[in-house]
């Protein structure tokens, strides 16, 4: 039996009858309910839970305005026979009502609960936790999450950071392990996920209510490409205090070649180009390749420079007129095209793609449970960004398929999705990959969390496949697009005026969207982060090398590195640094010194000591 007084009563007329999916109810003027409030109707042996979607007021001639609300049914108990909502008293939903109203009882109780706290539903001074079902958030039933809303007010990036933290704290052990790959695409946005941020007492209360600790991520590894000089990191996370957890992301020819089709535009990918790339990848790169027609000694192609030498040899051979226009069934035009495109990568992706030394990549095969791998691509050329996306997502996919990534589920967070999967844009490799991820990822445990300002500008095949959708403050123009037609006008008004920290939430278990409030993420935001940890100014070559060595071994002192590096060729230094990074020796400086090799002193030519002329008196040539 309801313990509190009703707030009103269902009213139904012939023109506005109660139905199984919606009903009107009347209240007194001073009742504190509004759009998004949850209510309960008890009568005729049934309980109906509903959410308010519209409000009406009119003067009924008595001087007292009449107030009506329209409510959409969330659930009826018992569920069958399904009938019209009874004409009965209406109550504000209590804390105990929120669970059954949102069907959360099905997944938050029992021996193997799968609830993930996403925020609180607040009404009448009370706050009730709202949970998402991780079977529908991270698979296998449904998967993916998408969030939309205007810049700065919708709190999109913050909401995803908070939710990732919540998942890491509450993802049930019986569901296995989970990690996240966050691609930082904008400024310092995700650069400080491991640093505690300021939150208010209000936020702390919500954390407590949700049973979560207000803490930053404990296990975060940062990867950022280098700047074109090959030693300074291309990220805003360059403060000395954070250097230990920031590693360079460096790929070599091998890593790039596997994704060459990313950098070839659609017209380029014909069977011939494909065939030649396969030939390079399978027969030439990383192995000994012998072709006596080109030159007697075998080729050993490991780097872009080696590859260029190989191409040169082919062209020389063709120019000598030996093979006409064709070398080993590949036409010269195809070979030239691939050479140009690959050459283009090493120029446009300088800093990410290296020619000296070893690659440094995400720890494929050794991903840790509840770890975040943040990759900063904000400073990269769009082509290089595409390459990073393509390689990372493909690696995740392949390894999850083979079950050798190290974890069972991976959440890939892509902010500013409109840049990578726009409705009307060229059909790029990355766009196709995002579609594939959205459509098939859930079977593999590969989950996409994405954010953009305008959902209408992103491919429907990507947003539509997101089982869970969040909406922060929305733009009026966006709300006028057809995607929002199923929402009532009043709900759209609420969306257009949502305060920071409040979101509308769609989830498969909830019959209608629900409004929730979430606390600020407990980590440092990008904006506060750059203030507290200002990026280091770009360092001189030797200093940048010292900084990287010090990240491996705190004892390394700057002067010692300067002395070692002084007068050495940059390429040699980068190679020695790469070798040290790969080896991770206990004494980084000693290893680096050895890798750099003995300094070869330039030969100082002494005064030539010729053979003295034999002077004889009778020599006719002596002056």
User: Does 457 help bind ligand ATP (rule: CB under 6 A)?
Assistant: no
Of 66-74, 147-155, 478-486, 571-579, which segment contacts ligand ATP by CB under 6 A? Answer: 147-155
22, 157, 166, 456: residue in contact with ligand ATP (rule CB under 6 A): 157
Encode 418-444 in three state secondary structure: HHHCECCCCCCHHHHHHHHHHHHHHHH
User: Does 154 help bind ligand ATP (rule: CB under 6 A)?
Assistant: yes
Question: Which letter, b or e, does each residue of 458-480 get, where b requires 16 or more Cβ atoms within 10 Å of its Cβ?
Answer: bbeebbebbbbbbbbbbbeebbe
Residue nearest Mg ion, CB atom distance: 157
Select from ligand ATP, Mg ion, none the partner in contact with residue 151, using the beta carbon and a kind-dependent cut-off of 5 to 8 Å.
Answer: ligand ATP
Select from Mg ion, ligand ATP, none the partner in contact with residue 453, using the beta carbon and a kind-dependent cut-off of 5 to 8 Å.
Answer: ligand ATP
Burial class (CB in 10 A: 0-12, 13-18, 19+), 81: exposed
Which residue, chain included where needed, has tokens 């283009």? Answer: 344
Q: CB-wise, 156 or 473, nearer to Mg ion?
A: 156
Please report how many Cα atoms fall inside a 13 Å half-sphere around the Cα of residue 360, on the Cβ side.
29
Angle at 288 between CA 286 and CA 292, to 5 degrees: 140
Select from ligand ATP, Mg ion, none the partner in contact with residue 520, using the beta carbon and a kind-dependent cut-off of 5 to 8 Å.
Answer: ligand ATP
User: Does 156 help bind ligand ATP (rule: CB under 6 A)?
Assistant: yes
Q: Cβ of residue 204: shortest distance to ligand ATP, in angstroms? A: 12
User: Does 155 help bind ligand ATP (rule: CB under 6 A)?
Assistant: yes
Residues that bind Mg ion in the complex, under the rule CB under 5 A = 156-157
Select from Mg ion, ligand ATP, none the partner in contact with residue 20, using the beta carbon and a kind-dependent cut-off of 5 to 8 Å.
Answer: none
Q: Cβ of residue 500: shortest distance to ligand ATP, in angstroms? A: 4
The Cα–Cα gap between 57 and 26 comes to 10
The Cα–Cα gap between 227 and 353 comes to 10
The Cα–Cα gap between 93 and 6 comes to 10
15, 60, 62, 151: residue in contact with ligand ATP (rule CB under 6 A): 151
User: Does 225 help bind ligand ATP (rule: CB under 6 A)?
Assistant: no
Encode 107-147 in three state secondary structure: HHCCCCCCEEEEEEEEECCEEEEEEEEHHHHECCCCECEEE
Of 81-89, 124-132, 152-160, 356-364, which segment contacts ligand ATP by CB under 6 A? Answer: 152-160
6, 115, 139, 149: residue in contact with ligand ATP (rule CB under 6 A): 149
Select from Mg ion, ligand ATP, none the partner in contact with residue 486, using the beta carbon and a kind-dependent cut-off of 5 to 8 Å.
Answer: none
The Cα–Cα gap between 441 and 449 comes to 12
User: Does 455 help bind ligand ATP (rule: CB under 6 A)?
Assistant: no
Of 154-162, 311-319, 350-358, 612-620, which segment contacts ligand ATP by CB under 6 A? Answer: 154-162
Q: Cβ of residue 154: shortest distance to ligand ATP, in angstroms? A: 4
- 474 to 513: interface string for ligand ATP, x by CB under 6 A: --------------------------xx------------
User: Does 525 help bind ligand ATP (rule: CB under 6 A)?
Assistant: yes
Residue nearest ligand ATP, CB atom distance: 501
How does DSSP assign 552-616, residue by residue? H-TT--HHHHHHHHTTS-HHHHHHHHHHHHHH--SSHHHHHHHHH----PPPPPPPP--PPP---
The Cα–Cα gap between 235 and 535 comes to 8
Q: CB-wise, 117 or 357, nearer to ligand ATP?
A: 117
Contacts of 537 (CB under 8 A, 6+ apart): none
The Cα–Cα gap between 558 and 565 comes to 11
User: Does 418 help bind ligand ATP (rule: CB under 6 A)?
Assistant: no
Helix (H) or strand (E) holding 22: strand 22-27
Q: Cβ of residue 471: shortest distance to ligand ATP, in angstroms? A: 11
Q: Which of 143, 129, 238 is closest to 445 using CA atoms?
A: 143
What does each C-alpha distance from 565 to 369, 378, 543 come to in angstroms? 39, 30, 10
Q: CB-wise, 40 or 156, nearer to ligand ATP?
A: 156
Considering only residues 8-67, where is the footprint of ligand ATP by CB under 6 A? none
Q: CB-wise, 157 or 385, nearer to Mg ion?
A: 157
User: Does 453 help bind ligand ATP (rule: CB under 6 A)?
Assistant: yes
Q: Which of 610, 514, 463, 562 is closest to 148 using CA atoms?
A: 463
Of 146-154, 219-227, 432-440, 478-486, which segment contacts ligand ATP by CB under 6 A? Answer: 146-154
Q: Cβ of residue 179: shortest distance to ligand ATP, in angstroms? A: 22
Q: Cβ of residue 455: shortest distance to ligand ATP, in angstroms? A: 13
Q: Using alpha carbons only, how large is the chain's radius of gyration in Å?
A: 32
Select from Mg ion, ligand ATP, none the partner in contact with residue 13, using the beta carbon and a kind-dependent cut-off of 5 to 8 Å.
Answer: none
Q: Are strands 514-517 and 502-506 parallel, antiparallel or unpaired?
A: antiparallel
How does DSSP assign 511-531, residue by residue? SS-EEEE-PPPSB--HHHHHH
User: Does 442 help bind ligand ATP (rule: CB under 6 A)?
Assistant: no
Q: CB-wise, 366 or 527, nearer to Mg ion?
A: 527
20, 109, 152, 425: residue in contact with ligand ATP (rule CB under 6 A): 152
The Cα–Cα gap between 546 and 568 comes to 14
Encode 239-293 in three state secondary structure: CHHHHHHEEECEECHHHHHCCHHHHCCHHHCCHHHHHHHHHHHHHHECCEECCCC
Contacts of 349 (CB under 8 A, 6+ apart): 225, 256, 380, 381, 383, 384, 387
518, 533, 591, 592: residue in contact with ligand ATP (rule CB under 6 A): 518
Select from ligand ATP, Mg ion, none the partner in contact with residue 529, using the beta carbon and a kind-dependent cut-off of 5 to 8 Å.
Answer: none
The Cα–Cα gap between 338 and 326 comes to 15
Q: CB-wise, 157 or 395, nearer to ligand ATP?
A: 157
User: Does 370 help bind ligand ATP (rule: CB under 6 A)?
Assistant: no
Q: Cβ of residue 419: shortest distance to ligand ATP, in angstroms? A: 12
Q: Cβ of residue 472: shortest distance to ligand ATP, in angstroms? A: 6
Q: CB-wise, 411 or 565, nearer to ligand ATP?
A: 411
Phi-psi sector, 567: left (phi>0), alpha (psi -120 to 50), beta: left
Q: CB-wise, 256 or 375, nearer to Mg ion?
A: 375
Q: CB-wise, 53 or 463, nearer to ligand ATP?
A: 463
115, 351, 519, 529: residue in contact with ligand ATP (rule CB under 6 A): 519
Site residues, ligand ATP (CB under 6 A): 149, 151-152, 154-158, 453, 500-501, 518-520, 525
């Amino acid at each position: 039996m309801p313990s509190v007084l009703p707030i009103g009563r269902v009213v139904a007329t012939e023109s506005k009858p109660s139905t199984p999916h919606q009903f009107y109810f009347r209240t007194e003027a001073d009742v504190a309910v509004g759009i998004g409030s949850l209510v309960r109707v008890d009568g005729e042996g049934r309980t109906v839970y509903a959410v308010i979607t519209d409000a009406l007021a009119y003067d009924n001639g008595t001087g007292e305005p009449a107030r009506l609300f329209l409510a959409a049914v969330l659930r009826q108990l018992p569920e069958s026979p399904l009938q019209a909502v009874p004409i009965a008293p209406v109550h504000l939903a209590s804390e105990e009502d929120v669970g059954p109203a949102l069907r959360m009882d099905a997944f938050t109780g029992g021996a193997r609960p799968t609830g993930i706290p996403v925020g609180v539903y607040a009404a009448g001074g009370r706050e009730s936790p709202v949970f998402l079902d991780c079977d529908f958030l991270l698979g296998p039933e449904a998967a993916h999450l998408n969030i939309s809303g205007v810049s700065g007010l919708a709190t999109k990036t913050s909401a995803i950071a908070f939710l990732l933290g919540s998942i890491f704290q509450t993802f049930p052990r019986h569901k296995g392990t989970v990690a996240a790959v966050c691609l930082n695409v904008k400024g310092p946005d995700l650069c400080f996920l491991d640093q505690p941020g300021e939150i208010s007492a209000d936020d702390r209360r919500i954390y407590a209510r949700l049973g979560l600790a207000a803490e930053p991520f404990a296990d975060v590894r940062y990867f950022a490409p280098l700047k074109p000089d090959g030693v300074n990191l291309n990220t805003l996370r360059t403060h000395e205090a954070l250097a230990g957890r920031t590693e360079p992301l460096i790929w070599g020819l091998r890593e790039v070649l596997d994704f060459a089709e990313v950098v070839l535009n659609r017209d380029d990918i014909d069977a011939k180009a494909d065939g030649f790339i396969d030939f390079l990848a399978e027969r030439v790169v990383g192995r000994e390749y012998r072709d006596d027609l080109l030159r007697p000694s075998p080729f050993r192609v490991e780097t872009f420079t080696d590859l260029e030498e190989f191409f040169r040899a082919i062209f020389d051979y063709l120019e000598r007129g030996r093979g006409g226009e064709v070398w080993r069934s590949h036409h010269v035009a195809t070979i030239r095209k691939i050479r140009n495109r690959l050459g283009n990568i090493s120029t446009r992706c300088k800093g990410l793609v290296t020619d000296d030394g070893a690659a440094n990549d995400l720890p494929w095969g050794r991903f840790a449970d509840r770890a975040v791998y943040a990759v900063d691509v904000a400073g990269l050329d769009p082509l290089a960004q595409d390459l990073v996306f393509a390689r990372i997502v493909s690696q995740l996919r392949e390894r999850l398929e083979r079950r050798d990534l190290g974890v069972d589920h991976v959440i890939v967070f892509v902010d500013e999705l409109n840049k990578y999967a726009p409705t009307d844009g060229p059909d790029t490799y990355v766009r196709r990959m995002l579609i594939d991820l959205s459509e098939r990822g859930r079977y593999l445990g590969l989950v996409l969390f994405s954010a953009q300002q305008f959902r209408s500008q992103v491919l429907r095949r990507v947003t539509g496949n997101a089982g869970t959708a969040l909406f922060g403050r929305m733009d009026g123009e966006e709300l006028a697009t057809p995607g929002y037609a199923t929402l009532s006008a009043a709900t759209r008004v609420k969306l257009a005026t949502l305060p920071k920290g409040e979101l509308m939430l769609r989830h498969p278990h909830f019959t209608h969207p629900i409004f929730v409030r979430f606390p600020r993420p407990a980590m440092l935001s990008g904006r506060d982060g750059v203030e507290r940890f200002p990026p280091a100014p770009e360092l001189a070559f030797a200093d940048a090398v010292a900084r990287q060595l010090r990240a491996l071994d705190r004892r390394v002192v700057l002067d010692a590195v300067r002395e070692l590096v002084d007068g050495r060729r940059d390429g040699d230094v980068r190679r020695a640094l790469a070798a040290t990074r790969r080896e991770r020796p206990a004494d980084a400086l000693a290893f680096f010194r050895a890798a750099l090799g003995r300094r070869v002193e330039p030969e100082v030519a002494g005064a030539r000591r010729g053979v003295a002329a034999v002077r004889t008196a009778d020599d006719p040539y002596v002056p």
